[in-house]
């Protein structure tokens, strides 16, 4: 029982996200494209709904006719929080980081990291995806955007 929750997380940088999801026939589209510098989102061909996280069926109409659509990665900060505790292989020198939930313009909410420059980024600000230096180890990163 105790290993069930910890087994869902990446324990260190020795295990990449690709390792974890390579055999997952749903999530590998998302992570594989992210590693190649593309953000793709699942969309239902039947009712046209974008959704996230990736699933085998549309959460609206239950169709399994799902397509993957490239997103420009623009959106608005829904929530953000500074993290001062090292986890998932982060070192103390890398802290603090800012994690956030981004409402993408397609209407889905995506977890990511904020890269604040200067005055920082606040809830409600417009942001755009900037790919992480090591996308297979990291959450998508967002920077300020007009
Ligand atoms: Zn649907």
What burial letters (b/e) apply to 27-64, b meaning 16+ CB within 10 Å? bbbbbbbbbeeebbbbbbeeeebbbbebeeebeeeeee
- Provide the pLDDT for residue 63: 97
Residues of the chain with pLDDT under 70: 1-24, 117-119, 132-138
- Provide the pLDDT for residue 15: 57
Ligand 1 midpoint to CA 56 (Å): 11
Ligand 1 midpoint to CA 66 (Å): 8
Q: By the 8 A CB rule, do 99 and 81 touch?
A: yes
> How many angstroms separate the CA atoms of 119 and 79, rounded?
17
Ligand 1 midpoint to CA 121 (Å): 34
Name residues with Cβ closer than 5 Å to ligand 1, which is an ion: 44, 46-47, 49, 58, 60-61, 63
Neighbours of 110 (CB within 10 A): 23
State the pTM of this model: 0.77
Q: 3-class DSSP state for residue 32?
A: helix
79-95 residue pLDDT tens: 998 888 887 777 888 88
């Amino acid at each position: 029982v105790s290993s069930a929750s910890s087994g869902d997380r990446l324990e260190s940088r020795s295990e990449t996200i690709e390792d974890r999801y390579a055999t997952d026939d749903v999530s590998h589209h998302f992570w594989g494209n992210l590693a190649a510098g593309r953000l793709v989102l699942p969309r239902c061909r039947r009712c046209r709904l974008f959704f996230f996280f990736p699933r085998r069926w549309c959460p609206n109409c239950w169709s399994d006719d799902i397509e993957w659509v490239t997103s420009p990665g623009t959106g608005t900060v829904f929530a953000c929080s500074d993290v001062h505790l090292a986890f998932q292989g982060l070192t103390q020198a890398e802290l603090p980081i800012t994690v956030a939930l981004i409402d993408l313009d397609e209407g889905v909410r995506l977890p990511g990291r904020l890269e604040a420059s200067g005055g920082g980024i606040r809830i409600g600000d417009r942001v755009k995806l900037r790919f992480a230096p090591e996308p297979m180890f990291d959450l998508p990163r967002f920077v300020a955007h007009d």
